[in-house]
Amino acid sequence: MFEDRPNCQEVVLVGRSNVGKSTLMRELTGHSKFTTGKKPGVTRQPNHFDWSGEKFMFTDLPGFGFMSGVEEHRREEIKTDIVRYLESNADDILAGVLVVDGKSVVDIIDRHSGPDEIPHDVEMFHFLRELGVPVVVAVNKMDKVDDKDERLDELCDRLGLMPPWKQWSDVIAPICAKRGSIDPLYESLQTYFHEQKRDDLLKFVS
């Protein structure tokens, strides 16, 4: 069970373990207190960074999927806690940022696609949409991807979005958090903040 959260609107970061959520969180907030590590599953509780006077925060939720040294039942518990958190706080979530690894996400989705299986990334994308939460897919580590357009088109296809990816500029944001290259994500968040009449928050995504 996750700890109590501050009472304010938020942008949540969700995604598999080890895709760079905590690195992105540091880049978004400008603060280095968020723990990162080479082992998946470092983040076990939501990491909140809030501006109390603004009633706004960024939240890095624990990673789902494989975690080194973590038993399957515990991984399922974490995933359940993530789902409950999103359901309980959907009305206060201005945007959900689904962080994926640009180099491996399509292969991971394909590996876990089957008649009785929905890949976690695809499931989370559609779950957020069903909750009415605007979703940005932050395709991280794009500095390691050679065939950028082809890879992003393939990702759109797996998510049920008709390629080419460039027509989904508010949804697909190719970034490299480690290098501080996250302008496409900022632009998507700016759009969603404006649509929800929170232009006062644009200073946090520019």
pLDDT band of residue 20 (cuts 50, 70, 90) is very high
* Cβ 144 vs Cβ 100: under 8 Å: no
Residue 203's nearest CA partner among 97, 20, 51, 31 is 51
Cβ-Cβ contacts under 8 Å for 82 (sequence gap 6 or more): 14, 61, 62, 64
Output the pTM of the full model.
0.91
Terminal Cα-to-Cα distance of the chain (whole angstroms)? 34
Residue 96 and residue 108: Cα distance in Å, rounded? Answer: 21
Cβ-Cβ contacts under 8 Å for 26 (sequence gap 6 or more): 32, 34, 36, 177
| pLDDT tens for each residue of 55-108 | 899 999 998 876 566 677 777 888 889 999 999 999 999 999 999 999 999 999
Determine phi and psi for 101, rounding to 5 degrees. Answer: -90, 110
Least confident range from 42-46, 51-55, 145-149: namely 42-46
Ranges of each domain in the chain: 9-205
* Cβ 144 vs Cβ 151: under 8 Å: no
Query: Going edge to edge, which strands form the sheet with 93-101?
Result: 47-51, 56-60, 9-15, 93-101, 135-140, 172-174
| pLDDT tens for each residue of 134-192 | 999 999 999 999 999 999 999 999 999 999 999 999 999 999 999 999 999 999 999 99
Pairwise pLDDT comparison (63 vs 196), residue with the higher score:
196
Half-sphere exposure of 44 (CA within 13 A, CB side): 9
Residue type, 112: H
State yes or no: pLDDT of 17 exceeds 80.
Answer: yes
Look up the CATH number of domain 9-205: 3.40.50.300
Residue 37 and residue 35: Cα distance in Å, rounded? Answer: 7
State yes or no: pLDDT of 31 exceeds 50.
Answer: yes
Judging by DSSP bridges, how do beta strands 135-140 and 93-101 pair with one another? parallel
Residue burial 126-164, b: 16+ Cβ < 10 Å; e: rest: ebbeebebbbbbbbbbbeebeeeeebbbbbbebbebeee
